[in-house]
Amino acid sequence: MTLLITNARIASENSPDLTAADVLIADGKIQQIGQGLTAPDGARVIDARGRVLAPGMFDAHVHFREPGFEAKETIASGTEAAINGGITGVVMMPNTSPAIDSATVVANVLDIAKRTSRIPVYTSGCVTKGRHGKELAGIDGMRALGVTMLTDDGDTTGDPAVLLRAMEYATEFGMFFASHCEVPELAGPRALNEGAVSYRLGIKGSPACAEEIIIDRDIRLAHAAGAHIHIQHVSSKLGMETIRWWKQRGDVKVTAEVSPHHLLFTDEHIGDYDTNYKMNPPLRTQADNDGLLQGLIDGVFDLIATDHAPHTPFEKSQDFISAPNGITGMDTALVSLYHHFVATGKFGWDLIVKRYSAEPRRLMGLPAVSIEIGQPADLILFDTEAQTTFTKDFMKSKSQNTPFIDQTLTGSVDLVVLGQEILLERL
């Protein structure tokens, strides 16, 4: 495939300004960048006027439910949802059934991905067998198959002694740890944030301190072990400030992520028990969201990750306490970030490229994608003036448990190119 994209505005992690240029792609690589490029014979020409050309996004926290819960999502459907949202690489979480806790399960998952996915799929592995928090998982076997992230995501690794031992062992292999932070005895039913809304709805809430205690605990364990700890889906301002404090000390390697829903929604959005706003950690207050946004701008958060968590309509139609936690995110993330933050001037495309494309790849030991001569073609075209309506027909995930369902937002992913393939086109 030879493709000439003309009149593009190129986004980079290194500059808030968008560079106007033509881009020639051939043999799966970017061959030329400049003004007034001439299309070679047989090349397809796409006029990108009014659109932003950006590197493909990378989501380092997704739940694809396979094996075990394929009614919610499969690797095939999940990766199509990723492409739909401009994402060209993902990292699966291990809370499947069986859990991804051994070389055997890792090999099975990667084989399914190789056969059914059009984008690269990586997987994390469990810290403990079955995510039960008692015995170490088959860490060395998983490492041999390329696993670098260890996590019991979905739950905290409850026993700090077990986690410390895992850190001391696996750090020798260059692996790192991703932490889902909550004290279960404090978190209770984990239905929503403890505060005025939980009181009004008559539901026991989950206090932010249940998350904040484990954030500090796990960073302290990493400090003791000399390990790299990555804090997942932070939801509270104080939790973010704890991470900031440890980063400023400079004597422990800590990275952290924030999810779009913890920037965009609060517990007030739950309204009349809307289960599409039920997630873990729960939505908190506007003050928390404002703090998280500032933490993202300041660089306390290294990356944006959706925590894509699909559930069937039947499951989400249960009462608020019984319904499972989770929100789908990959179909909607980029457009919603553009609509609410870039279009309103809160931050620019450089932050999106850095935090949702470059740094997630670096976390996984992968090279960041950039639009430069000689680089592999891994890019998207984003129309900043078009609109996207998130109907059930638009969504590619098998589940549509999202507050964005049937909403119309500004922005559209119009083209996704990976190597020599056009994976998505809405031109």
- Where in the sequence numbering do the catalytic residues fall? 307
Which tokens go with 349?
């495309």
Other Cβ atoms closer than 10 A to 349 = 22
Nearest to 156 by CA among 218, 66, 225: 218
Cα-based distances in Å from 378 to 184, 216, 384, 388, 422: 41, 37, 19, 22, 10
CA distance from start to end of the chain:
17
Distance between CA 130 and CA 136 in Å, rounded?
A: 9
Nearest to 86 by CA among 418, 383, 413, 365: 413
Pairing type for strands 29-34 and 15-26 reads: antiparallel
Q: What is the DSSP letter of 422?
A: E
Angle at the Cα of 214 from the Cα atoms of 197 and 161, rounded to 5 degrees: 150
Which tokens go with 271?
């309204």
Q: Which one-letter amino acid corresponds to residue 314? A: F
Distance between CA 94 and CA 62 in Å, rounded?
A: 10
Instruction: Judge whether 35 and 7 are in contact, CB under 8 Å.
Output: no
Which tokens go with 367?
């090279």
392's CB contacts (< 8 A; 6+ apart) are: 400, 405
Distance between CA 223 and CA 200 in Å, rounded?
A: 41
Distance between CA 133 and CA 125 in Å, rounded?
A: 13
Cα-based distances in Å from 35 to 45, 157, 390: 14, 54, 36
Give strand pairing partners of 193: 206
- H-helix or E-strand containing 415? strand 408-418
In 72-206, which residue ranges form alpha helices assigned H by DSSP? 75-84, 103-116, 139-144, 160-170, 184-187, 196-201
Instruction: Judge whether 23 and 30 are in contact, CB under 8 Å.
Output: yes
Tokens 């704890």 map to which residue?
Answer: 242
Distance between CA 95 and CA 100 in Å, rounded?
A: 7
